Amino acid sequence: MSLTHVNENNQPGMVDVSRKERTRRVATAQSLIEVGPDVMALLADGDIQSKKGPVFHTAIIAGTMAAKKTSELIPFCHPIPLEDCTIVITPEANNIISITCTCITTSRTGIEMEALAGASGAALTLYDMCKAVCKSMRILETKLLKKTGGKSDYSAT
């Protein structure tokens, strides 16, 4: 299998999607962030209130903005219509906060990068807003959980 963003002359470039069919495409990505007990202790009514504002709500907005700007952040991503972006932030055991981003489009190319950018943007915002409380937070992973539409489907499970 060859890399899709390298042409026959070994030069980088966008993939030509002009001949592909428009199909409904859905992708879900997840970021996990370990925040520590001091940050978890601030949870109240499903969010963390900080001097900068409600942390989870702000992270959801930032993640949505990141998903919308993916083609500006990743050099060879096509600008595609983002028809839906849903971000869910869930406190888990062991001081972990899970951020799940699901993006939908009807386009000629995938939506995976938008879901990954959305989850990442939300995780970075959560980190930024809580760093005064805990400087040892760690974004543990960001991964694609599932994608449907296009040539092939994928599921991490």
Task: Return the active site residues.
Answer: 128
Q: Are 116 and 144 in contact (CB under 8 A)?
A: yes
12: closest CA among 75, 69, 79, 72? 75
114: closest CA among 86, 90, 151? 86
Pseudo-torsion of CA 110, 113, 117, 123, nearest 10°? 100
Judged by phi (left if over 0) then psi (alpha if -120 to 50, else beta), residue 10 lies in: left
Q: Are 137 and 33 in contact (CB under 8 A)?
A: yes
In angstroms, the CA 92 to CA 82 distance is: 29
